[in-house]
Amino acid sequence: MAKHHPSNDLLMEYAAGSLPIAQAACISAHLSYCDRCRRTYDQLQTVGGTMLERLEPVPVSETLLDTVLARLEDPAPLAYSGQTEASEIPGLLERLINKDFGQLMWKRVTRALSVSYLSTGDIQHEFALLRIAAGGRIPEHTHGGNEMTLVLEGGFSDGRDSYHPGDFIFRSSDDTHAPVALDGEDCICLTVLDAPLRFTSWQHRWLNPFLKLRAG
């Protein structure tokens, strides 16, 4: 059961459909782990449904009803059928990565850290999987913007707390952190960034000019 959750603000923007797609996908993946947030999301959707009911109706022409009635027997568009059974990866991610983490292209950033970029079409956010080797450390870094992280496999600790599959962490630009993967298993996280990360320790600062946001 996840212990770290998105804020109500984020859940509300998600329920109202106003989050950028990369961030919405990350929240959606968290909900597939977390009953509690799903219930909150449900209630936040009820807020939307209730507001819809209370809108001042705008008349619709009778022709539109006829058009719709005439189209009722049109074949329904094919829809993605959601989560495949017996998978521990949220269905949405499974779809973006085409099955499992092993088949992805992993790009090495440091000895302990590899990254694989996924495409959501969101040109303002990078949507990527990070793989931190068991016990490995990501050098201390900060971000020009916000970072969402969702643990998918293994776990990591940042000195404040430890995080396990399903845990969701939101960091704003002024947070500096240096996550360390827990021992025993590689840690795989989904991260959504709206600005490139910046290493703060002098040993790693030389990497900064090479770190660009891979949005899209």
Q: Do residues 191 and 143 lie in contact, with contact meaning Cβ atoms separated by under 8 Å?
A: no
Please tell me the number of Cα atoms within 13 Å of 64 on its side-chain side.
3
**41, 165, 25: which is closest to 95 by C-alpha?**
25
Told to check if 85 binds another protein by CB under 8 A, we report no
* Polymer length of the chain: 216
* Max Cα–Cα distance, the chain, nearest Å: 70
Cα separation of 103 and 216, whole Å?
Answer: 20
User: Of the two residues 41 and 156, which places its CB atom closer to another protein in the complex?
Assistant: 41
H-helix or E-strand spanning residue 149? strand 147-153
User: Of the two residues 87 and 208, which places its CB atom closer to another protein in the complex?
Assistant: 87
**Selected range binding another protein among 7-15, 102-110, 132-140, 143-151, rule: CB under 8 A:** 7-15
Please tell me the number of Cα atoms within 13 Å of 183 on its side-chain side.
0
Q: Which of 2, 6, 25, 171 binds another protein (CB under 8 A)?
A: 25
Told to check if 36 binds another protein by CB under 8 A, we report yes
194 CB contacts (<8 Å, ≥6 apart)? 124, 125, 126, 145, 146, 213
**Selected range binding another protein among 37-45, 154-162, 180-188, 200-208, rule: CB under 8 A:** 37-45
Q: Which of 2, 4, 12, 170 binds another protein (CB under 8 A)?
A: 12
Told to check if 18 binds another protein by CB under 8 A, we report yes
Distance of closest approach, residue 193 Cβ to another protein, in angstroms = 17
Segment 106 to 135, residues that bind another protein, using CB under 8 A: 119-122
Told to check if 45 binds another protein by CB under 8 A, we report yes
Which structure tokens are listed for 158?
């940042």
Q: Which of 2, 4, 6, 24 binds another protein (CB under 8 A)?
A: 24
List residues binding another protein (CB under 8 A): 8-9, 12-13, 15-19, 21, 24-25, 28, 31-32, 36, 38-62, 64-65, 67-69, 71-72, 74, 76, 79-80, 82, 92, 95-96, 119-122
